[in-house]
Amino acid sequence: MERISWDQYFMAQSHLLSLRSTCPRLKVGATIVRDKRIIAGGYNGSVSGEPHCLDQGCYIVDNHCIRTVHAEINALLQCSKFGVPTDGAEIYVTHFPCVHCSKSLIQAGIQKVFYAKEYKNHPYAEELFASLGIECVEVELDQGIMDQRYQEKLTLTTSLLNELERLGASDVELESYAKKTKQIFFDMNVDD
């Protein structure tokens, strides 16, 4: 078996971190790396010692949850707290950073931003990164890395859908199952 790439490895770490997120609106993980070594990680969650969104609901102002500290900021703060320099480091984030996180990453000296998914990319954030020569690279996480049986499960599910069609399942049923399959295997939010 071949080893996974560094980008896949660090992005997988960020996805694992996102599982600790306490804001149900969007689970985000971030991993700061220097010289192919992880120096910090963060996920979006409440201020230490304060209630979490999962406990008391999101605190929404102008369509944003202000209860949470973003994953990128939590990772930067971890470096600050323990005296770990971030100048020249790279960050791997599950979602493209918001404009505020982008500014903080720049100020902290982050030289390269890797992200798994675009998420309401703010033009000013993209402009700042570009004008300062900070490369932003999309890294799609291969689900087979996180689940060694991913392809086997997908093949089985596809076979079952084909069998349901062969047995005469209605178009409505098939469409419903296909939609659920896309949501599960491809993490797609398909409108109802």
SS in 3 state form for the chain?
A: CCCCCHHHHHHHHHHHHHCCCCCCCCCCEEEEEECCEEEEEEECEECCCCCCHHHHCCCEECCEECCEECHHHHHHHHHHHCCCCCCCCEEEEEECCCHHHHHHHHHCCCCEEEEEECCCCCHHHHHHHHHCCCEEEECCCCHHHHCCCHHHHHHHHHHHHHHHHHCCCCHHHHHHHHHHHHHHHHCCCCCC
Q: Which residues are catalytic?
A: 72
